[in-house]
Amino acid sequence: MGMTITEKIIAAHSEDTHVHPGELVEVEVDMALANDITAPLSIRELEKHGIDRIADPARITLVADHNTPSKDIASAENVALMRNFARRHNIPYFFEGGEVGIEHVLLPERGLVIPGDLVVGADSHTCTYGALGAFSTGMGSTDIAGAWALGRTWLKVPESIKFLYRGDKRSFITGKDLILYTIGEIGVDGARYCAMEFCGPVISSLSMDERFTMANMAIEAGAKNGIMEADHATLEYVSATGTTRKPVVYTSDTDAEWKNVFQINTSFIEPQVALPHLPENTRSVYSIPRTEISQSVIGSCTNGRIDDLRMAASVLKGRSVHPGVRLYIFPGSPSVLLQAEKEGLVKVFLTAGAVLCPPSCGPCLGGHLGVLAAGERSISTTNRNFVGRMGHPKSEVYLSNPFVAAASAVKGYITTPDQL
């Protein structure tokens, strides 16, 4: 019996030549990351057990992206703890201040994750790196502490589900719409502890930024990881990062075992909106009643890359944000912000009346820089719309692609560019 991409990567990082779903294996870790919310927990766990040794400083990344710039004393203390830990152990990849970006945007840009890698992170959206053809998954902070100390961790090999996308794409359809539609079809537990392998001609046609978006939201279907086969576009992206590491490209065998196979005809998919309070509560934007908004958020580890900002700017150019709406733009990294400025996108945003925020997670988790009050409603390019996710428990979050979020900011209610 053959293996899937996920199984091959796990096998390559273990002492086995072949692994199968359900098997418990110990694996070598290429990168273990954490942020300013989760890293302090890992650091304190090591201190609690008197562990003052880490396996490989170059295989640790610490990113102060959630509450940056520090919003209060507690946030500042967390970053200080990370900073001191990085200095004590000579960890080269610690990002704060002007270098900081959203971790899941920053690491691929810097070439810190490449095809064939096995990556774990103390953040559920670590699954983003599957767009590169890497196995990547979120773990608890205690497990990350163990990975730091040992350079290894254990995994249960997940079953794999294949998602095959064929057909045309309508106007304003992006990777975000494909993954929202998919989650709507299978539910938030439809891929529980499984590998979601995205493939087909439609996936091959997507930009890397859109692929990151799809892999990022695999966790919203309960998946252990999302993954795609690395192709020419992937290798070009990796080469442009300047990494000296050599990618390892895996493909799923023709006789690999699949838990299920879903074939999705994209020709019929319209721009999607996930209504409160679950990502599976998806609808075509054209089918929902007029829904007025207080806020629009464009950014996050899901849609904060340069392609996403280009989409938003194409809608906002020559238009103004509705007087009753706050529009927040969160570039995913300093390089994304620099490129947006170079292309004139920043001027478009500011002229339209948007608020340009520093590269960070911002309001995605209800931390700061755009938290909602009771009764307010936001359209957002983020990945979760749980109760209270972006602020008050009596606020509402609707998920969409950047085209829809920008058009809605202009009109004051949820809509698409073709309805402006």
Residues 317-331: pLDDT tens digits? 999 999 999 999 999
Are the C-beta atoms of 70 and 97 separated by less than 8 Å? no
Q: CA torsion sign, 239 to 177 to 162 to 8? A: positive
How would you classify residue 63: left for phi > 0, otherwise alpha for psi between -120 and 50, otherwise beta? Answer: beta
Q: Which residues pair with 262 in a beta bridge?
A: 163
The token pair that represents 98 in the structure block: 């002007």
Domains of the chain, earliest start first: 5-264 (3.30.499.10), 273-419 (3.30.499.10)
For 74-98, the pLDDT digits (tens) are 999 999 999 999 999 999 999 999 9
CA contacts within 13 A on the Cβ side of 62:
30
Of 197, 414, 377, nearest to 290 by C-alpha is 414
Type of residue at 154? W
What is the C-alpha separation between 265 and 394, in angstroms, rounded? 36
Query: What is the average pLDDT score of the chain?
Result: 96
> What does each C-alpha distance from 197 to 13, 80, 210, 257 come to in angstroms?
19, 39, 15, 12
Model confidence over 127-151: pLDDT tens digits? 999 999 999 999 999 999 999 999 9
pLDDT for the residue 323? 96
Which residue in 56, 282, 330, 21 sits closest to 160, CA to CA? 21
Helix (H) or strand (E) holding 270: none
pLDDT of residue 16: 87
| Three-state secondary-structure class, residue 225 | strand
Determine the Cα–Cα distance for residues 332 and 338; give it in Å rounded to an integer. Answer: 11
What is the distance between the alpha carbons of residues 234 and 134, in angstroms, rounded to a whole number?
A: 11
Q: Residue 203 is encoded by which pair of tokens?
A: 């996936």
* C-alpha to C-alpha distance for 358 and 230, rounded to whole angstroms: 31
Residues across the chain: 420
| Whole-number Å distance between alpha carbons of 395 and 250 | 44
d(CA 369, CA 295): 12
Within the chain, which residues score under 50 in pLDDT? none
Per-residue pLDDT tens over the stretch 170-199? 999 999 999 999 999 999 999 999 999 999
SS3 at position 228? strand
**Distance between alpha carbon 136 and the CA centroid of its chain, in Å?**
11
Residue 45 tokens, joined: 């766990």
Quick one: how far is CA 80 from the chain centroid? 25
Tokens representing residue 39 in the block = 């890293």
Q: What is the pLDDT of residue 63?
A: 97
- pLDDT computed for residue 123 by the predictor: 95
Q: What is the DSSP string of 23-35?
A: -EEEEE-SEEEEE
Enumerate helices (H) and strands (E) in the chain, giving the number of each: 14, 18
Tokens, residue 144: 């990350």
Of 341, 209, 337, 353, which Cα lies nearest the Cα of 295?
353
Give the C-alpha separation, 48 to 287, whole Å: 54
**Residue 61's pLDDT is what?**
97
Residues 6+ apart with CB under 8 A from 27: 10, 13, 14, 118, 152, 153, 154, 155
